[in-house]
Structure 1
Amino acid sequence: MLVSQSSVFRAMFTHSNTKEAMTNCIFIDDANPEAVNRMIGFIYTAELDDCLNDDEVIAVLMLADRYDIQNLKSLCQDELIFQLSDRNVCKVLRVADQTRADVLKCACIETIEKYKKTITESNPWRDLKKTDQSLVFEVLEKIMASDGSPPKKKK
């Protein structure tokens, strides 16, 4: 079942010289156990628990990206877009960038544009400016290039 949903798991089990193929076991000991259980549950049921908070969804998204489970990654992006707010957008933006979740990243940029005054005065934004200047620059470039140009002058 794992190999049908993940190219990473497929590679682990189809190459005979891997530890996973020899033992028929995978050890994921560097991730949140609850997130791992949710990922495995999704592989078997194609469902994700309802009522997860943003941190729980982020943990699952990180695993979905790491193990290339595209359906789960898409579902996590949708859930995080639904949960986006001025309070969590900087955290979610950073994760979207790390996981190459482009749809989620665009939604974060739209949220930042919508709540720009509140967000740019927040501690998470200040922290993001210190730790990931290239991401902040990308966000600001996209906001400036958006359709917010001034009205045309009358003749």
Structure 2
Amino acid sequence: MNWNCPFCNFGSNSFCNFGSNNPICSDCRENARRMIVLTNKLQNEKRLDNQIRTSSSSSTGLGNALKFMEQMKEMEDELNEKLNFLSGFAAAFKEQIHADILVKPGTDEPSLPAHRALLAARSIILKHMLDSDQCKAPPNDTITFQELNYAELESLLEFLYSGDLPKDKMDKHVFTLSIAADKYQIPFLQKFCQKQMLGSLSSSNVLDVLEIADTCSSSTLKENALNFIVKNVKDVVFSDRFDAFAVKNPHLTVQITRASLMEKIDTNQKQGPFTFFKPL
């Protein structure tokens, strides 16, 4: 008996039946098989292409990362070379190479040899002082820093020549150097001292920091010091240092009182109605 193929509608004695009520002819079956093989092949090729693209993208990203690291290494090497080059100034100070001026502390201690050009380059105030008639000649002239002792002056000069200072010296002279940086307009030293003070705030030194901030008109330093005092008011206000501080700096004492009161008001407003005294 002949059946018509449901796909090609062509009668044939050669049919393949896979449990269907509508068997298909051998030609249609072969064509279907070829279509399935081709479809699978195209899907495999697509997956392979995606894998290649992903691998290529990953390789590109890794290559860019390696290139960036190489650039950073080159920048680091260049920076180290510049630092080594500039370290010659520190050597000139330590070895007193061709010094042309003496720098004297305000105390009865020895003077330190220095270089006019470097002092003038580091501070506009020192430049004006060196340009004055009193310092133009001869080369053995002396410039005096009345507010500094020998150790403080040596630390100041070391920073001017090298742009850095050992931690032990910075810890010891940070307040004096901060005032000197403000007086002689040395912005980099001001920033250096401020960072040191902000990083070492404590109940034992915060009043000194506040006083320095007020003297040097540093709003950032002053704000941080006041905030620290408000948060640690008991430890600060009842310390031995506070009485002398209050006598010397009445305006700062008023600011501490106001800041503490405002903090108290803000806290009570968050918690409920504000009262100064507990009801009886």
Q: Which moved more, 1:73-82 or 1:97-106?
A: 97-106
What runs of 5+ residues in structure 2 fail to find an aligned partner?
1-117, 273-280
Residue correspondences, number: 152
Identity %: 21
1:130 to 244, 247, 257: 247
1:98 maps to what in 2? 215
Distance 2:219 2:169 in 1: 21
Q: Going by fraction, where is strand more abundant, 1 or 2?
A: 2
- Establish whether residue 22 from structure 1 lines up as the match of residue 137 from structure 2: yes
Distance 1:146 1:10 in 2: 46
- Establish whether residue 117 from structure 1 lines up as the match of residue 248 from structure 2: no
Retained in 1: the 8 A contact 2:155–2:169? no
* Residues 2-151 of structure 1 aligned to structure 2 (within 5 Å): 2-15=119-132, 17=133, 19-23=134-138, 25-52=142-169, 54-145=171-262, 149=266, 150-151=269-270
Retained in 1: the 8 A contact 2:156–2:177? yes
Retained in 1: the 8 A contact 2:230–2:259? no
Distance 1:132 1:27 in 2: 29
Q: What SS does the corresponding residue of 2:270 show, helix, strand or coil?
A: coil
What runs of 5+ residues in structure 1 fail to find an aligned partner?
none
Retained in 1: the 8 A contact 2:230–2:263? no
The alpha carbon displacement at 1:95 in A equals 2.1
Retained in 1: the 8 A contact 2:210–2:221? yes
Listed one character per residue, the Cα deviations across residues 76-130 of structure 1 (whole Å, up to 9, x for unaligned) are 1110111110111112222221222332222211110110111111121222222
Listed one character per residue, the Cα deviations across residues 59-88 of structure 1 (whole Å, up to 9, x for unaligned) are 211221221111101111110111110111
Distance 2:210 2:240 in 1: 15
Listed one character per residue, the Cα deviations across residues 25-83 of structure 1 (whole Å, up to 9, x for unaligned) are 42225412111111111111111221346442112112212211111011111101111
Distance 2:187 2:150 in 1: 20
Which has the bigger relative contact order, CA under 8 A and spacing at least 6?
1
Q: What SS does the corresponding residue of 2:204 show, helix, strand or coil?
A: coil
